[in-house]
Amino acid sequence: MRTLFGIWQPTLIAALGICLPACGDDTGDTRASDSGTGTVTVTVTATDPSTGASTVPTTSASATGTGTGTDSAGSESNSATMATTDPTTATGTTTTATGGTSTGEPGTTTSGTTGAIGSSTSNGDSTTGPPPVCEPGDMMGGGMVDKSFIWVPSSDSSDVAKINTQTLQELARYRVGPGGDSPSRTAVSGDGRMVVVNSRQTGHSAMIAANVEDCVDKNGNGMIDTSQNKNDLRPWLDDECLRWNIQWPYAGQFQDGPRGVTWTPGTWDYDQCKYVNPKVWIGYQAAGGNGHFARVDGETGTVEETIIVPGWNGQGYSPYGAALDPQFRPWFGGLRGEFIRINTDLNPITVDRFTPPGNTQSYGFTVDPDGHPWFAGCPGAVSTYDPVAMTYTSIANTNACFRGIAADENYVWAAANGPCGLAQIDRKTNTLVQFHNTNPCSTAIGVSIDAEKFVWLIDQEGWGWKIDPMNVGAMQMIPIAGSHYVYSDMTGGQLNSILPQ
């Protein structure tokens, strides 16, 4: 939350009607070299605590704003002086505040604009007035809770199930390709509105909107034609919640198709108080064994840029998994091979390539909230890499064929085969907390963290588990028809874990 000179002053800001930088409605607001001044008459009432009567002080109260434009983008500088009231004595005192500087788009200025005026109560709190500037983190955490979904692909039927993580009901099914696609990795956007599903066999990526308001009436019949329940599976391209799909120029074989996928949140818009223009990074393997890492506009499906990594080392497979770090840089892990970081914070973009120790045997891949990559070894241990110290750590007493892996604020969770179950690891101390068995347990595959911090474990043979980290033994089983081969961020939990909170 931004403050005025490092001090939060709600009464002053509300009474002045000042809209802080980026709100776009300040008195004396200037755009494209315009300037203006205005006077706002302020009436402040206070309650005498001894009588309960409201008193209007005799001290006059006014506020003035000034602004000057400096360039084609426009800038503003705000200052104001006003009289406030001490509610315990109903006498006037004077406070002066100077606003900060902000930039904006070219526009026009209205001189003497009147802002919202706050009222003073007996405890001195402001009850009305404009909100402060919304920083990343101010509004995060609550946006997905009302609508939280997990998206589970079925490799045998070329579709993906949409399941409400709160009611545990499967709400819809969507085709993700023309058939025989073998979908595997899914990734959910930070706001939960969109999911991308990658199909290994046919080289497709499909984006599906989670909410009807984001779907498109493609046939112009005045309604959205989309799946209404788990048995309502529409033909390929007929469901109007399928927003876009891409056929990648992959090398053409099962091992080359797109796997690793991660969203970025986009850029922060202060006026809308949310991230906008999210991107998707998708990895596949082209002819010659080169790794291709494509940045896609999340809303339109436009391929904006492709980074090529020659001689990709992933045991002959395309980039196997992906995740984002707190600097919004995509990381991709290879199957028992290298892993990379795409430095999107640099211009031009660069790529760092890392080769872990031979005993890492990486399979599933994620990045924790501190920016540390984690590897689910198969066979072997769960391991992690510290990019600052440049050290690798294998977690003692973890030895299995680990598949999917996910991290929350306290723990790392890894799906295990042989034995079958779920490993819980303290990611601060790098120690195994406990190995949890599920009953039944056939082939534990994918792990993801939902919007309410519950852990989801997907079994390949047709069911999933919802797990409370504080009470793992009370896990709930959810039937999900199909064969599920998935290792990715099925809920958007990985992305949300690295956003400002």
Strands 362-367 and 455-459: unpaired
DSSP 8-state class, residue 11: H
* Confidence check: pLDDT of 52 > 60: no
pLDDT in tens, 341-377: 999 999 999 999 999 999 999 999 999 999 999 999 9
150, 172 Cβ separation under 8 angstroms = no
Question: What are phi and psi for residue 59, nearest 5 degrees?
Answer: -65, 130
Poorest-pLDDT segment among 87-101, 252-266, 281-295, 453-467: 87-101
Q: What number is the average pLDDT over the span 80-108?
A: 32
Task: Name the burial class of residue 371, with classes exposed (0-12), middle (13-18) and buried (19+) by CB atoms within 10 angstroms of its CB.
Answer: middle
Cα 19 from chain centroid (whole Å): 27
Give the confidence band of 33 by pLDDT, cuts at 50, 70, 90: very low
Give the pLDDT score at 80.
36
Strands 444-449 and 290-297: unpaired
Give the pLDDT score at 138.
74
Strands 54-55 and 46-47: antiparallel
DSSP 8-state class, residue 221: S
pLDDT in tens, 161-213: 999 999 999 999 999 999 999 999 999 999 999 999 999 999 999 999 999 99
497, containing H or E segment: helix 493-497
Tokens of residue 445, six digits: 């595959």
Tell me the C-alpha distance between 479 and 438, whole Å.
14
Give the pLDDT score at 131.
59
398, 414 Cβ separation under 8 angstroms = yes
Give the confidence band of 501 by pLDDT, cuts at 50, 70, 90: confident
Which CATH number, 2.130.10.10, 2.60.40.10, 2.60.40.1580, 2.30.30.100, labels domain 149-497?
2.130.10.10
* Confidence check: pLDDT of 225 > 80: yes
User: Tokens 């503003």 — which residue?
Assistant: 76
Q: Which residue has the higher pLDDT, 259 or 124?
A: 259
Helices (H), 260-322: none
Domain ranges of the chain: 10-103, 149-497
Q: What number is the average pLDDT over the span 227-244?
A: 98
Give the pLDDT score at 16.
29
Task: Tell me how many degrees the CA angle 154-146-166 measures, rounded to the nearest 5.
Answer: 50
Across the chain, mean pLDDT equals: 80
Give the pLDDT score at 143.
43
Give the pLDDT score at 449.
98
Tell me the C-alpha distance between 326 and 372, whole Å.
10
